[in-house]
């Protein structure tokens, strides 16, 4: 019986040790831990860290800005997938954050545009992100329609792709100019199919 009690006590202590609340001195420090967990695919740990640090609206706002900056830094280094992982976490923690949803779509779109063909599940992930971005903004950026065009192409829906592309062209003011190569590629594709 003593052995069983000792075993239970040690298991209980180990369990408590693994779920102890870590403290952070700054939003950046908390963000680094959240990002590390998210990049390892441990969304539960990322959420636990977030919940333990971002208890007030002020802290939540600071963590949001810090997470957004971390995603932007990854995107700027050419790591669109890393940016998308962070932005997916951000959109779950900040359901009304239209900017994060649009940034997620853009990151996923650029990642997809850099590949010859979509990765498995990529069209569905992009479609869900597009739907989410459209749901929180009364006027999402025009390039959301460009991303939707790519999803329709990837799904083999050329009629839907042409409709989305037409919507994009009607609303696009030429900015950001970095979209031009994608616009030209998609236009060529739709004209040839």
- Mean pLDDT for 92-109 is 93
Output the average pLDDT for the chain: 87
Q: pLDDT band for 41, please (50, 70, 90 cuts).
A: confident
Higher local confidence (pLDDT), 31 or 1:
31
**Nearest to 54, CA basis, from 80, 34, 79:** 34
Q: What is the pLDDT of residues 152-185, one digit of tens each?
A: 999 999 999 999 999 999 999 998 898 999 999 9
Q: What percent of the chain has pLDDT over 90?
A: 67
Is 3's pLDDT higher than 60? no
Is 56's pLDDT higher than 50? yes
- Mean pLDDT for 34-43 is 88
Give the pLDDT confidence score for residue 167 in this predicted structure.
Answer: 96
Give the pLDDT confidence score for residue 21 in this predicted structure.
Answer: 53
- Mean pLDDT for 109-138 is 93
State the DSSP string of the chain.
-HHHHHHHHHHHHHHHHHTPPP--SSHHHHHHHHHHHHHTT-HHHHHHHHHHH--SHHHHHHHHHHHHHHHHHHHHTT-HHHHHHHHHHHHHH-TT-HHHHHHHHHHHHHHHHTSSSPPTTHHHHHHHHHHHHHHH-SS--THHHHHHHHHHHHTT-HHHHHHHHHHHHHH--S-SGGGHHHHHHHHHHHHH-
Q: What percent of the chain has pLDDT over 70?
A: 89
Higher local confidence (pLDDT), 14 or 60:
60
User: Which range has the top average pLDDT, 5-14, 41-50, 131-140, 147-156?
Assistant: 147-156
- Mean pLDDT for 73-89 is 89
Q: pTM, whole model, 2 decimals?
A: 0.82
């Amino acid at each position: 019986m003593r052995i069983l009690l000792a075993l239970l006590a040690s298991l209980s202590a180990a369990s408590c040790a693994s779920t102890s609340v870590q403290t952070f001195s700054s939003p950046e420090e908390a963000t680094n831990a959240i990002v590390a967990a998210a990049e390892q695919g441990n969304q539960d740990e990322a959420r636990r860290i977030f919940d333990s640090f971002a208890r007030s609206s002020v802290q939540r706002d600071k963590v949001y800005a810090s997470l957004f900056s971390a995603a932007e830094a990854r995107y700027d280094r050419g790591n669109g997938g890393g940016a998308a992982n962070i932005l997916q976490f951000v959109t779950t923690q900040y359901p009304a954050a239209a900017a994060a949803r649009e940034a997620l779509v853009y990151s996923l779109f650029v990642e997809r545009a850099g590949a010859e063909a979509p990765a498995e599940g990529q069209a569905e992930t992009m479609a869900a992100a597009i739907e989410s971005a459209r749901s929180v903004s009364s006027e999402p950026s025009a390039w959301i329609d460009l991303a939707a065009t790519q999803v329709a192409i990837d799904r083999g829906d050329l009629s839907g792709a042409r409709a989305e592309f037409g919507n994009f062209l009607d609303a696009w003011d030429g900015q950001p100019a970095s979209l031009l190569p994608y616009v030209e590629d998609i236009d060529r594709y739709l004209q040839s199919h």
